[in-house]
Amino acid sequence: MASIQDSTYVKLCAQLASRLSISLASARRRVDQAAAQDGKRDIEGRRAIAQTMLDALDSNDPDSAERLTSLLSSSEGDGNFILED
């Protein structure tokens, strides 16, 4: 399936990717999946979903810092924790 090459859509996805520190393909996939869940298949709907995601990141969510801290912290009880290389 050919990817959508709308410049505004790609720009919004690039901003989303930059803020989430993920690849552009991952950001587009997230937007596409959210649009599919909402039943929006047109480019305007996808742009609106991407803008909504960006707006959610811009809002001052007090829990976002705590969530990021919990995701970045690791402990010995964690299965992915490495004591030695």
The reply to whether 72 falls in a domain is no
36: domain range? 7-59
The reply to whether 76 falls in a domain is no
For position 48, what pLDDT does the model report? 92
pLDDT block averages, 10 residues each, the chain of length 85: 75 90 90 90 91 82 62 57 59
The reply to whether 80 falls in a domain is no
The reply to whether 38 falls in a domain is yes
The reply to whether 17 falls in a domain is yes
Total domain count, the chain = 1
The reply to whether 39 falls in a domain is yes
For position 47, what pLDDT does the model report? 93
| Long-range pairs, 2-11, Cβ under 8 A, ≥24 | 3/28, 4/43, 4/46, 6/43, 6/47, 8/47, 9/43, 9/46, 9/47, 9/50
The reply to whether 19 falls in a domain is yes
The reply to whether 2 falls in a domain is no
**With a threshold of 0.85, does the pTM exceed it?**
no
